[in-house]
Structure 1
């Protein structure tokens, strides 16, 4: 499940970027109660994009910000409560890592859903039922 973290350069120390990504991954897996799941853990993937100052905008003007985008199948974070918990945890992870260089109101989290049957892993197309089956049948590591 791809996570994309985009931040203004200078907000996160390079050594902290991996820790932030690990924190976002941990948040998703814990909320979904899938930490240790042999199917899910290797499929939480993503990137950290560091954008030069002056190339990030807030209110139409250059600013400092962080954006977390999580792409999921429709069966993940399926309740408003689960979405809210992920958004709060993701915001906390980024805010702590920025160590005061970023105001909380400049952290945005967006959860985006793929259409049923439009999820692909290793060249295989999964619908929601097939994903649930794969996750359910995977052993906990």
Structure 2
């Protein structure tokens, strides 16, 4: 389940990128009750995009921002309590790693859900039922 973390250059030092990914991943797993799950843990992937200053915009004006976007099956990040808790934790992670300099109102977290059957694990397309069965073995 890929995480795309996009930050404007300078939100936090590049040496903090791995720490951000680890903490956000751990928050996702914890909030879904999957900490230590041998199937899910290696299937949480991430890529990080660092946008040069001057190439991030809000309302058409340059600004400094941070975005965390998940692409997940429709059953993940589907419960409002889980969403609220995880999104709050992600915001706090980015805020703290920025040394408190990145305004929380310029930290964005969202989720994109795949249609049922539009996901794969171990190179095989799976629907939600098959994914759930695979994850429950972990």
TM-score normalised over the length of structure 2: 0.96
Aligned to 1:85: 85
Aligned equivalents of 1:135 and 1:122: distance in 2?
12
What are structure 2's unaligned runs of at least 5 residues?
none
1:61-108 deviation digits (Å, cap 9, x = unpaired): 010000000111011122111111111111111111111221010000
Residue 12 of structure 1, CA deviation? 1.3
Residue 20 of structure 1, CA deviation? 0.4
Aligned equivalents of 1:100 and 1:86: distance in 2?
19
Aligned equivalents of 1:63 and 1:77: distance in 2?
28
1:38-83 deviation digits (Å, cap 9, x = unpaired): 1000000011110000000012101000000011101112211111
- 4+ residue stretches of structure 1 with deviation over 2 A? none
How many pairs were matched up? 138
TM-score normalised over the length of structure 1: 0.94
Aligned to 2:134: 134
What are structure 1's unaligned runs of at least 5 residues?
none
Aligned equivalents of 1:136 and 1:124: distance in 2?
17
Aligned equivalents of 2:99 and 2:60: distance in 1?
25
Which aligned pairs between 1:44-55 and structure 2 lie closer than 5 A? 44-55=44-55
| Aligned 8 A contact 2:121 2:131 in 1 | no
Aligned to 1:61: 61
The residue matched to 1:21 in structure 2 has which SS? Answer: helix
Residue 122 of structure 1, CA deviation? 3.3
Aligned to 1:5: 5
